[in-house]
């Protein structure tokens, strides 16, 4: 159950193996930095750090005259000490757009994220006096404006997307309608669950049947950081989950190793994160074509609705599993405009007191 399930144990093991493989491709200074973070950071985060650092070292290997021609593994402290702020600026331009070799294009937010582990590595090396210079501190990070126009669905759109699944009335071909009938209960259960609890797509993917307690309408989930949590759902969620469990799921023949999963693909495998993302986008495109709806937008839709109903930002943070309440405050800052509009009629100095 929860983080003790075979699924999460296998996932954890595979992440650690992947991390060690990526670490082995890095030069020693970067390996030392990644290893120093292992006790306090999640393997998934460190895997991303490794990919970003490898991108930087490949850039140096390919385009920096100080490093060009050298094996990445042989880059040492002395070579890293020769990197200048101009080199980092050039790397920023490389991250923004590169059309030769390792092709990519990144926006300001992605560039800032990719520079973060590089800055962390140099800070680590400076503190331990492995290098004398930190060129990353002399380069400004891209300025990112906070977007208060967070995409979410209104009540009408939520009902429309659930009706599209339940009735199949948004499908234009007979073939689509027949396929919908095979997965209708599952898809309705997934969308209803996510819209009424705000769980992440990875938390939904990891659910086992025994994580659901219909006696108290609760779910045991594993959060993004690896911690276990219990959340509660309403009677509507309970009904669609039971319809799926006692219906479509009964006819699934799971393959070995997938017997405990709550949600299945038609092939009898635990439904993947990609599959959940695709089915959300599929139904949303039919019903809400003017909005780019993803599983995370279902999460923000729920969080917004919960905040509107309760006005309790701490409750929203707790239910959504935000470790830092500032994340919740920043994310739902747009809702404050509604409170400001309410204030316009709250004070009337001409009104006579009773």
Q: Contact 170/207 with Cβ under 8 angstroms?
A: no
Confidence check: pLDDT of 262 > 70: yes
Confidence check: pLDDT of 350 > 90: no
Domain boundaries, the chain: 2-138, 155-336
- Please give the average per-residue pLDDT across 167-181, as a whole number: 73
Task: Give the rounded percent of residues in the chain with a pLDDT score beyond 70.
Answer: 90
Provide the whole-model pTM. 0.83
Tens of pLDDT, residue by residue over 191-210, are 999 999 999 999 999 999 99
Tens of pLDDT, residue by residue over 312-343, are 888 989 999 988 888 787 666 555 555 555 56
Q: Using CA atoms, how far apart are residues 31 and 39, in angstroms rounded to an integer? A: 14
Residue 238 tokens, joined: 């309970």
Q: Name which residue leads in pLDDT, 45 or 3.
A: 45
SS3 224: coil
- Please give the average per-residue pLDDT across 155-184, as a whole number: 82
CATH class of 2-138: mainly alpha
Q: Contact 316/307 with Cβ under 8 angstroms?
A: yes
For residue 291, the tally of other CB atoms under 10 A from its CB is: 15
Tens of pLDDT, residue by residue over 266-314, are 999 999 999 999 999 989 988 888 888 999 999 989 988 898 888 888 8
- Please give the average per-residue pLDDT across 98-106, as a whole number: 86
pLDDT at 54: 96
pLDDT at 190: 97
Q: Contact 279/190 with Cβ under 8 angstroms?
A: yes
CA distances from 2 to 23, 209, 267, 278, 314 (A): 29, 10, 24, 25, 24
Residue 267 tokens, joined: 């092939």
Confidence check: pLDDT of 144 > 80: no
Q: Contact 115/135 with Cβ under 8 angstroms?
A: no
| Torsion angle (degrees, nearest 10) of CA 286, 288, 289, 292 | -120
Task: Give the rounded percent of residues in the chain with a pLDDT score beyond 90.
Answer: 63
Q: Contact 244/191 with Cβ under 8 angstroms?
A: no
Grade residue 102 by pLDDT with cuts at 50, 70 and 90. confident
Q: Using CA atoms, how far apart are residues 322 and 335, in angstroms rounded to an integer? A: 18
Superfamily name with CATH number, domain 155-336: Intergrase catalytic core (1.10.443.10)
Residues 6+ apart with CB under 8 A from 83: 60, 64, 66, 133, 135
Grade residue 255 by pLDDT with cuts at 50, 70 and 90. very high
228 φ, ψ to 5°? -95, 145
91 HSE (CA, 13 A, CB side): 30
């Amino acid at each position: 159950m929860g983080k003790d399930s075979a699924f999460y144990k296998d996932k954890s093991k595979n992440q650690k193996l992947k991390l060690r493989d990526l670490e082995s491709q890095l030069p020693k200074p970067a390996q030392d930095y990644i290893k120093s973070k292992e006790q306090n950071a999640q393997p998934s985060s460190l895997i991303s750090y490794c990919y970003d650092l490898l991108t930087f070292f490949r850039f140096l290997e390919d385009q920096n005259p100080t490093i060009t021609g050298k094996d990445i593994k042989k880059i040492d402290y002395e070579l890293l000490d020769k990197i200048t702020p101009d080199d980092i600026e050039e790397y920023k331009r490389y991250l923004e757009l590169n059309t030769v070799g390792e092709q990519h294009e990144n926006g300001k937010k992605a560039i800032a994220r990719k520079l973060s582990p590089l800055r962390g590595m140099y800070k680590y090396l400076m503190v331990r006096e492995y290098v004398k210079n930190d060129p990353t501190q002399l380069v400004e990070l891209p300025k990112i404006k906070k977007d208060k126009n967070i995409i979410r669905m209104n009540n009408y759109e939520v009902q429309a997307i659930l009706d599209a699944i339940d009735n199949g009335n948004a499908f234009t071909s007979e073939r689509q309608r027949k396929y919908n009938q095979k997965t209708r209960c599952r898809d309705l259960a997934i969308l209803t669950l996510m819209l009424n609890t705000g769980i992440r797509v990875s938390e939904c993917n990891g659910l086992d049947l025994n994580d659901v307690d219909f006696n108290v309408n609760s779910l045991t989930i594993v959060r993004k950081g690896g911690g276990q949590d219990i959340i509660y759902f309403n009677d509507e969620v309970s009904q669609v989950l039971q319809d799926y469990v006692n219906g479509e799921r009964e006819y699934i023949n799971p393959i070995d190793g997938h017997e405990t999963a709550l949600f299945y693909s038609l092939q009898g495998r635990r439904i993947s994160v990609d599959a959940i993302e695709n089915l959300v986008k599929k139904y949303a495109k039919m019903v809400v074509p003017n909005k780019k709806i993803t599983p995370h937008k279902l999460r923000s839709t729920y969080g917004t609705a919960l905040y509107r109903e309760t006005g309790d930002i701490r409750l929203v943070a707790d239910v959504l599993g935000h470790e830092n309440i500032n994340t919740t405050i920043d994310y739902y800052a747009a809702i404050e405009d509604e409170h400001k509009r309410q204030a316009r009629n709250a004070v009337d100095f001409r009104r006579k007191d009773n």
